[in-house]
């Protein structure tokens, strides 16, 4: 049976690739964008399979309205994809507060708004799937210059873990997607690179140079096809890392976390009332 997808940020990047993959699989897509004219070519090619909708994800009321319009047009909403997002690059010390907040409004609050608006619809119909686009940086973190973006991605993971436990009785499933570097315009036209002070040239400046000069290995069309197949499974992973480099980073980080927690386990346990005092691990 065909499914109905609701995808934010469908005009380009992963959102566009995922909309195309779902449509080619015979599914229906509510393709949202700030300007729905940007998805008019999808309507021309796929006709009634596509519902173009204007949506600024920072507008909670608009999120609810567009989801309701999707349900009314197609009868249900099977897959909600929170893809819309962007990053600007600058040191936290010198990033203007309004820029930092605007990024967070889209990257975190946009996901919150759409997820919250989707729950009543999914609950009423007996279930559905919510796909949250994070990044491998939302697991590993620490990329100089991406303070607001990665803080939001860590927040998305925390939010989604709670949503998954709260709404499990309603049959709602969640998948957090953690891509590495992909050939989208995320690091191109979509990203503003602020002035990098001399003190940050070796950290933030190096990241800016790498993002602008090194071609990304990831193919967004392949990733989209993988996601369509994955969402169709009966059993979803809670997180899906996409890209060979991202997978290596994720595994290395998890191994490091386990090693550190194990090395400090006795110290952690010694904080309990009845526990004996122990020495710290050697430096």
Active site members: 134, 149, 153
Q: How far apart are CA 131 and CA 179, in angstroms?
A: 13
Sheet holding 239-242, edge to edge: 50-54, 28-33, 4-7, 79-82, 128-133, 172-179, 239-242
The C-alpha atoms of residue 282 and residue 267 are separated, in whole angstroms, by: 12
Q: Which residue has the tokens 């949506």?
A: 55
Q: Are 122 and 170 in contact (CB under 8 A)?
A: yes
- Distance from C-alpha of 162 to C-alpha of 168, rounded to nearest angstrom: 10
Phi, psi values for residue 141, rounded to 5°: 70, -175
DSSP SS3 for 100: helix
Distance CA 141, CA 152 (A): 11
Which residue's structure tokens are 């193919």? 219
Buried b (16+ CB within 10 A) or exposed e, 217-253: ebebbebbbebbebbeeeeeeebbbbbeebeebbeee
Give phi and psi for 18, each to the nearest 5: -70, -40
| Cα first-last separation, the chain | 59
């Amino acid at each position: 049976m065909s499914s109905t997808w609701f995808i934010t940020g469908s005009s380009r990047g992963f959102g566009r690739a995922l909309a195309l993959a779902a449509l080619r699989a015979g599914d229906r897509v509510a393709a949202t964008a700030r300007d729905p004219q940007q998805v008019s070519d999808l309507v021309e090619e796929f006709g009634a399979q596509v519902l173009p909708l204007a949506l600024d994800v920072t507008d909670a009321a608009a999120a609810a309205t567009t989801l309701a319009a999707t349900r009314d047009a197609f009868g249900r909403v099977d897959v909600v994809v929170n893809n819309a997002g962007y990053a600007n690059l600058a040191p936290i010390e010198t990033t203007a507060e309004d820029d930092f907040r605007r990024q967070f409004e889209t990257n975190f609050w946009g996901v919150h708004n759409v997820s919250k608006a989707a729950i009543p619809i999914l609950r009423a119909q007996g279930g559905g799937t919510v796909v949250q686009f994070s990044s491998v940086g939302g697991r590993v973190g620490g990329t100089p210059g991406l303070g607001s973006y990665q803080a939001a991605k860590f927040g998305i993971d925390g939010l989604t873990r709670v949503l998954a436990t709260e709404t499990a009785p309603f049959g709602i499933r969640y998948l957090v997607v953690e891509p590495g570097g992909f050939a989208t315009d995320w690091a191109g036209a979509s990203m503003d690179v602020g002035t990098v002070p001399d003190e940050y040239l070796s950290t933030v400046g190096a990241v800016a140079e790498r993002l602008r000069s090194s071609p990304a290995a990831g193919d967004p069309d392949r990733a989209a096809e993988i996601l369509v197949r994955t969402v169709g499974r009966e059993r979803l992973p809670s997180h899906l890392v996409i890209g060979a480099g991202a997978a290596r980073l994720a595994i290395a980080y998890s191994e490091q976390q386990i090693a550190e927690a194990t090395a400090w386990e006795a110290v952690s346990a010694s904080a309990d009332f009845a526990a004996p005092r122990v020495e710290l691990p050697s430096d």
